[in-house]
Amino acid sequence: MARAATTSDVFNAIAEPQRREILALLREGERSVTEVAQELGMTQPGASKHLRVLREVGLVRDRRAGKQRLYGLHADGLRPVHEWTGGFEQFWNESFDRLDAYVQDLKQTGRAE
């Protein structure tokens, strides 16, 4: 089965580690492509390519500020990821509850002996 185009799906877009780094950087505020490239140690064309992909899937917005374009996080685009991962929250909560009960049992058994 062919893989979906990177620009058609949020999950494919964030599968690239450098794109996740860009999103984390943009949590701190808007940046120009030059700032993104410098702060993350990548080339400007590479940063531009990643920003374009993130913009096309709705994770990044851009605006003109004089002669430069500033990129900012558009976190609403992460909603599908949040909803999908949220489905695992109950699983993890139940797993930690079982682990906690096991640890408490070990403590009680250790005191009883």
Predicted confidence at residue 113, as pLDDT, reads 62
- In this model, does residue 5 exceed pLDDT 70? no
Could you tell me the sign of the dihedral formed by the alpha carbons of 25, 70, 56, 45, in that order?
negative
d(CA 22, CA 37): 9
Every domain of the chain and the residues it spans? 6-85
**pTM of the prediction?**
0.76
Predicted confidence at residue 52, as pLDDT, reads 96
Give the right CATH number for 6-85 from 3.30.70.3340, 1.10.10.10, 3.40.1710.10, 3.40.50.300.
Answer: 1.10.10.10
Residue 67: C-alpha distances to residues 45, 70, 91 (Å): 17, 10, 49
| pLDDT single digits (tens) 14-59 | 999 999 999 999 999 999 999 999 999 999 999 999 999 999 999 9
3-state secondary structure of 59: coil
Residue 4 banded pLDDT, cuts 50, 70, 90:
low
